[in-house]
Structure 1
Amino acid sequence: MVQGTTSDAGKSTLVAGLCRVLARRGMNVAPFKPQNMALNSAVTPCGGEIGRAQALQAIAAKVELSTDFNPILLKPNSDTGAQVIIHGRSISNMEAAKYHDYKKVAMQAVLQSHQRLESQFEVVLVEGAGSPAEINLRENDIANMGFACEVNCPVIIIADIDKGGVFAHLVGTLALLSEAEQALVKGFVINRFRGDISLLQSGLDWLEQYTGKPVVGVLPYLHSLNLDAEDAVTLDNHVTDSMLSISVLLVPHISNHTDFDSLRLHPNVDLRYVRHGEQIAATDLIIIPGSKNVIGDLAFIQNESWQGEIIRHLRFGGKVLGICGGLQMLGKAIYDPSGIESSQKEIQGLNLADFTTTLMHSKTLTQITGECLLGKTPIAISGYEIHCGVSEGDALANPFIRFTAHPNGISHDGFISEDRQIAGTYLHGLFDSPDAAKTILDWASDGRLQAPAFDLVTHREQQLERLADSCEQYLDMDKILALMLNNEIE
């Protein structure tokens, strides 16, 4: 198990790197995160929902996605509440205090998944969440040491030296663990090191002598490493040779912003996020992204006065694209009679298309293929759906996508406005298909963007191989393998 001294210490990345190292060595390996809190998620082939980081780790391990890789997923829809997803399916919304009491039940789901993975895989690489030294969260913990103690799982703790205070982070984290928990910690990894390693050696020697735990590796700072983010938004790219400018509205509960990774990495696309208090600058395309609280985020857009700026943008010939929750916001109204996402029962939409949306208890979770109808000829497109809304209205008669096959028997999705300035779709990952992405970018740029679309799949593979190479070079893999297979470092 990889635990971290802080959030963003490098747990997800280290597990992904180790998954690829072991897969390259012919080992059958599975990633596992008992509990994840994130708004970036992925859909498994069986129609379940897991955290995006575990999907990336599964790709690194070269195994098919499974809901057992992330049995508990929490998707925040307010500052104190979240949708609780167990084994890929939403069970309810819970406030933090109620979920804290529910953890005893959640632990059983965690252990069931872990047991299944242990029976199917040679190695299970576990990722912790946040820090194991959060004193207020230790009771009923299922994400860090609570899980490790339950299954007697050896632990490596990773810390980010780039933030400073790495020795205090590691020693302090260890000191705040119980004796039984400390015994499970078998070593440390220091992440994101820059400079001459010889200048760090005296500190490493001290750390090993003081704690009695070995440092099993010092990973360098990998500049421009671009992998799917677990949750935090990777902001603007600021390209110098821009042929197309895109503005994404950064709403408070933005979900699946990995939709925009291929745009952020495109050498000829200037992708910018419009933040709280900012105006929407002159741009070619405005994207309204997915949302975990679509009514709350639509109210945010209206309060920011972005609605009037969107209308002005359209008046000057600009394009607008809504994705999932963003699609729903483009319509005349959104209804939430059962309080699926918020206490507000309804809200007037941006009124840019003739349809309404009603949020339902049942959530659509599918991987789909179809044809994008935005260009002159239909272009193959693939992606996934994660939404609990049903949209109905005349605008949907001119769809964005025609499905080749849909598990729910649906023939089409989304809409394209009559003047072809506005489009919307429930499909996530729509820019990951290079041909479809090029069609959408050609539409947005009125044909100015002649460069091919960015191939995110190939790029991801290159980045995973680069990460694995770094792990091979800078980690003591013999010690780590001994720990994995024998529960002790030789």
Structure 2
Amino acid sequence: MTKAIMIQGTGSNVGKSMIVAGILRAFARRGMKVRPFKPQNMSNNAAVTEDGGEIGRAQALQARAAGVAPHTDMNPILLKPQSATGAQIVVQGQVAGVQEAAAFGRNKAALLPAVLQSFNRLAAHCDLIVIEGAGSPAETNLRDGDIANMGFARAAQVPVVLMGDIDRGGVIAQIVGTQAVLDPTDNALIRGFAVNKFRGDRALFDAGRDDIATRTGWPSLGVIPWFDRAHRLPAEDVMDLPARARSGGVGCVVAVPRLPRIANFDDLDPLAAEPGVDLRMIMPGTPLPAEADLVLLVGSKSTISDLAALRAEGWDIDLAAHVRRGGHVLGLCGGYQMLGRSLADPDGIEGAAGVVPGLGHLAVDTVMASLKHLALKSGTHPESGSALSGYEIHIGQTSGEDCARGWLEFGGIPEGAASRNGRVQGSYMHGIFSSDTFRSAYLARFGASSELDFESGVEEALEALADHVERYMDLDLLWSLAGDIAPA
């Protein structure tokens, strides 16, 4: 019979996603069939799956840790914020509409059947499902109709391990306080706790660990030290980007404006890992650096509003100066759309219907449409002859004179657009920098030499993470606490 265990956190960013990946890899190395599951995720960093949908990128990494292909059942509800109060809702990989936060709060319980359906389908094909919660179960204002934490755990009757983050301080209060605010039925589902991100001598926290156990009655599954190689794993949250971006490289400066609705920023992970690249996240209030070799505009969940934000920062003026100096610009997906002459949204998909001027660096125009393009693709970079792979995840259609200079090729069809002098380029394809031969050829124009095997680095980090979790978590206790899943 399949077993399941759920890792919930005392808050966001306590390290749940990474620890779940480590647990999955550790049990997979023991010969078990394991699967990740996250009932509800909120992220604009999505991955395209082989079954033609999209899920949170963290679950795609967890699938990789488990040794299986990502599937939409691994993250049945994905919320993609596109305004301060509204988000696109993706159900089992497909767009189901857009809702304001208040409306979603009222209606989210109606999504529980789809969540349980996906969960039970996964359970039919594995020995263990490791489930990741979202945020914190202590957010009592969100408990009614919850499908992300205790609402799901109770519906599926899955035991829970609560994880706290000692790095942010107050971990005893985090864990004990969570128990204090949960109702008795929810509390009964929590079978243990763990403390993550410890720095220094762990023995100094023995008394704290024992105090938590005494106050809660829960056993400890471990005090887990800070994982030093976390930066080699793809970033899940946009909040991780500023720290990730400082590669310490020299020679090739790549500047990335940090826009409010930045999406699918996994394009940055291989660049951040390059020793010969100085990848800089340019935060609001800071000009684009004059010494940049390349300005990279990455994806956006709300292209038109992010274009307005770019102009409000004065980055459009900085970008024009960069181009006049002979600098290079690359736009990916939403960034590609921004570089054109105009963006039309006749149906008001992203806000008020209308047409706005683009940055004008490419002779192309974009029309937004409701159909979302989702695809995994393999192709070539004709200039260098290098192979590459990537994925498409966007709305809108782009056309114009510069599309005649498509600089990539997928299935024999040119992709993207380039200016007459070739210094400004755009493409809808994400993930292309993960291909080592292409990335090396692309960076060579800026004098950067690359010998990085990016995918091997991710695998090595996952193996090191599994070693880390094996050493500092009691996985035998975790297995014993996992509950049996009754057949659907």
Q: Could you tell me the TM-score, scaled by structure 1's length?
A: 0.95
Does 1:252 pair with 2:260? yes
Find the aligned partners of 2:400 and 2:460 in 1 and give their Cα distance. Answer: 43
1:295, 1:346 within 8 Å by CA — same for their partners in 2? no
Q: Deviations for 1:255-282, whole angstroms, at most 9, x for unmatched residues? A: 0111101111111110101121111112
Q: Which amino acid aligns with 1:303?
A: A
Q: Report the CA distance between 1:224 and its aligned residue.
A: 3.8
Does 1:145 pair with 2:150? yes
**2:345 corresponds to which residue?**
336
Q: Which amino acid aligns with 2:74?
A: F
Query: Against the structure 1 CA distance between its residues 240 and 195, is the aligned structure 2 distance closer, same or farther, given a 3 Å change threshold?
Result: closer
Find the aligned partners of 2:474 and 2:167 in 1 and give their Cα distance. Answer: 21
Length, aligned pairs only: 476
Does 1:301 pair with 2:310? yes
2:76, 2:91 within 8 Å by CA — same for their partners in 1? yes
**1:384 corresponds to which residue?**
391
Find the aligned partners of 2:385 and 2:200 in 1 and give their Cα distance. Answer: 51
Find the aligned partners of 1:472 and 1:78 in 2 and give their Cα distance. Answer: 41
2:337, 2:343 within 8 Å by CA — same for their partners in 1? yes
Find the aligned partners of 1:110 and 1:185 in 2 and give their Cα distance. Answer: 21
**1:365 corresponds to which residue?**
374
Equivalent runs, 1:232-271 vs 2, <5 Å: 232=238, 233-235=240-242, 237-271=245-279
Query: Against the structure 1 CA distance between its residues 429 and 339, is the aligned structure 2 distance closer, same or farther, given a 3 Å change threshold?
Result: same
Q: Which amino acid aligns with 2:453?
A: D
Find the aligned partners of 1:336 and 1:174 in 2 and give their Cα distance. Answer: 48
Find the aligned partners of 1:485 and 1:416 in 2 and give their Cα distance. Answer: 55
Match of 1:218 among 223, 226, 229: 223
Match of 1:467 among 455, 460, 465: 465
Q: Which amino acid aligns with 2:309?
A: F
Equivalent runs, 1:23-422 vs 2, <5 Å: 23-226=28-231, 227-232=233-238, 233-235=240-242, 237-282=245-290, 283-373=292-382, 375=383, 377-404=384-411, 411-422=413-424
Match of 1:5 among 1, 10, 27: 10
**1:408 corresponds to which residue?**
none
Higher relative contact order (CA 8 A, sep 6+): 2
Find the aligned partners of 1:167 and 1:288 in 2 and give their Cα distance. Answer: 42
**1:449 corresponds to which residue?**
448
1:193, 1:221 within 8 Å by CA — same for their partners in 2? yes
Q: Report the CA distance between 1:336 and its aligned residue.
A: 1.2
2:136, 2:149 within 8 Å by CA — same for their partners in 1? yes
Find the aligned partners of 1:195 and 1:275 in 2 and give their Cα distance. Answer: 31
Find the aligned partners of 2:417 and 2:11 in 1 and give their Cα distance. Answer: 43
Q: Calculate the aligned-residue CA RMSD, in Å.
A: 1.4
2:158, 2:482 within 8 Å by CA — same for their partners in 1? no
Find the aligned partners of 1:53 and 1:192 in 2 and give their Cα distance. Answer: 18
Query: Against the structure 1 CA distance between its residues 206 and 238, is the aligned structure 2 distance closer, same or farther, given a 3 Å change threshold?
Result: closer
Q: Deviations for 1:159-184, whole angstroms, at most 9, x for unmatched residues? A: 01111101000000111111011110
Query: Against the structure 1 CA distance between its residues 301 and 357, is the aligned structure 2 distance closer, same or farther, given a 3 Å change threshold?
Result: same
Query: Against the structure 1 CA distance between its residues 433 and 212, is the aligned structure 2 distance closer, same or farther, given a 3 Å change threshold?
Result: same
Query: Against the structure 1 CA distance between its residues 441 and 470, is the aligned structure 2 distance closer, same or farther, given a 3 Å change threshold?
Result: same
Q: Deviations for 1:258-310, whole angstroms, at most 9, x for unmatched residues? A: 11011111111101011211111121000111000000001111122211211
Determine helix, strand or coil for the equivalent of 1:412: strand
Q: Which amino acid aligns with 2:378?
A: T
Q: Report the CA distance between 1:93 and its aligned residue.
A: 1.0
1:262, 1:455 within 8 Å by CA — same for their partners in 2? no
Q: Which amino acid aligns with 1:10?
A: G
Query: Against the structure 1 CA distance between its residues 67 and 240, is the aligned structure 2 distance closer, same or farther, given a 3 Å change threshold?
Result: closer
Find the aligned partners of 1:467 and 1:218 in 2 and give their Cα distance. Answer: 15
Find the aligned partners of 2:20 and 2:276 in 1 and give their Cα distance. Answer: 32
Find the aligned partners of 2:456 and 2:305 in 1 and give their Cα distance. Answer: 36
Identical positions, percent: 43
Q: Report the CA distance between 1:486 and its aligned residue.
A: 5.7
Find the aligned partners of 1:112 and 1:486 in 2 and give their Cα distance. Answer: 17
Query: Against the structure 1 CA distance between its residues 239 and 14, is the aligned structure 2 distance closer, same or farther, given a 3 Å change threshold?
Result: closer
Q: Which amino acid aligns with 1:462?
A: E
Match of 1:432 among 417, 431, 434: 434
1:34, 1:72 within 8 Å by CA — same for their partners in 2? yes
Find the aligned partners of 2:20 and 2:354 in 1 and give their Cα distance. Answer: 42
Q: Which amino acid aligns with 1:420?
A: G
**1:479 corresponds to which residue?**
477
Query: Against the structure 1 CA distance between its residues 213 and 240, is the aligned structure 2 distance closer, same or farther, given a 3 Å change threshold?
Result: closer
Query: Against the structure 1 CA distance between its residues 303 and 66, is the aligned structure 2 distance closer, same or farther, given a 3 Å change threshold?
Result: same
Uncovered stretches (5+) of structure 2, i.e. residues with no partner:
1-5
Q: Could you tell me the TM-score, scaled by structure 2's length?
A: 0.95
Determine helix, strand or coil for the equivalent of 1:133: coil
Q: Which amino acid aligns with 1:251?
A: L
Find the aligned partners of 2:202 and 2:388 in 1 and give their Cα distance. Answer: 47
Q: Which amino acid aligns with 2:230?
A: L
2:363, 2:419 within 8 Å by CA — same for their partners in 1? no
Find the aligned partners of 1:148 and 1:239 in 2 and give their Cα distance. Answer: 40
Q: Deviations for 1:423-467, whole angstroms, at most 9, x for unmatched residues? A: 111111111000111122123x1xx22333x32211111111111
